[in-house]
Homo-oligomer: A and B are copies of this chain.
Amino acid sequence: MMTAKEIAELLGVSTDVERELTRVSAAEDADADCIVFAADERALAVALASRAGLILVRRDAESEDVRVLRVDDPRYAFAVCARELGRVSKEQDLYRLEQGENEVRGDALVHSSAVVEEGAVVGEGCVIGPNVTVYGCVRMGDRVVVQAGAVLGAKGFGYVRGKDGAYVLFPQQGLLVIEDDVEIGANTTIDRGALGETRIGRGTKIDNQVHIGHNCSIGKNVVIAAQVGISGSCTIGDGVVMAGQVGLGDHVTIGPGVILGGASGVFPGKTLTGEGQMFMGVPAEPLKEYLKGVARVRRLKNSG
């Protein structure tokens, strides 16, 4: 629960509303305890007709309603409100530490059936979901959120083949370092380094069923959608965006700010660069080139 004035202060604005808000909601479901947002005129009409207690709107929105709070980006402000309200209500959550030996600082939450191995470091305010595995090689910063079933710090996939045809595991004994504010989706797997480390940069967000191999270095504020597969020893720059099912071979380098379209693929050892440049296809090429190829094949089909 927060007062309208506390929320306004959080967003750097002010309000005359005297009310306590407990949650965010869609306008259709709102009652007087709710914060809603309106990003365009149509949404504004719906929100004004709702019972919401506080309405986040754009600075240029036309309304005299006292519940209206003008901000730069209503959608962003709405997400910030949800985050803050969540922090306030967190004491209601289950607080359970799986093993006394873990270095769990402050107010971390470890849910049922999660396993945090001895030696693992879990920072302040982390949330470890049900059935998550955190191996002992993991060094986690603060406010890391890990959803159910994720596996952090498993051994990587590196083998050496003997003369007899049988494979022997190359030593997989490095660390997995996860910086502050990283969020990791359900059933995602991130392997520890072989001899060095695997690192996930601050603020990076990872969806469900993503695989990140050993010795990868993922930058800050990277967005990785579901089912992406990143082979070992890749380097991903800050602010990269990867859509669903993208696949990278090993030792790939993706420069800062690159955008990889859904299901695109990059062959081992390749480098893609270009801030804001979108790549598509297998092998991935700049969007313009990709679309030219699609059009050419289509024309070819129709020509006979």
Chain A positions within 8 Å of B, measured between CB atoms, are 23-26, 29, 72-73, 75-76, 78-80, 82-83, 98, 111-115, 117, 129-133, 135, 147-149, 151, 154-155, 157, 159-163, 165-171, 173, 181, 183, 185-187, 189, 191, 195-196, 203, 205, 207-209, 211, 213, 221, 223, 225-227, 229, 231, 239, 243-245, 247, 249, 262-263, 265, 267-268, 282-283, 289, 292-294, 296-298, 300-301
Contacts and interface: CB of A to CB of B under 8 A. Distances in A.
A25 B195 contact: yes
A270 to B, nearest CB: 11
Contacts of A75: 160, 170
Contacts of A26: 195-196
A116 to B, nearest CB: 9
A39 to B, nearest CB: 11
A225 B231 contact: yes
Given A131-B115, A159-B223, A227-B247, A293 B301 contact: yes
Given A189-B209, A225-B231, A231-B244, 11 more contacts: A24-B173, A25-B173, A76-B161, A78-B160, A149-B151, A165-B203, A167-B205, A169-B205, A227-B227, A245-B265, A296-B300
A82 B169 contact: yes
A289 B205 CA distance: 38
B169 A183 contact: yes
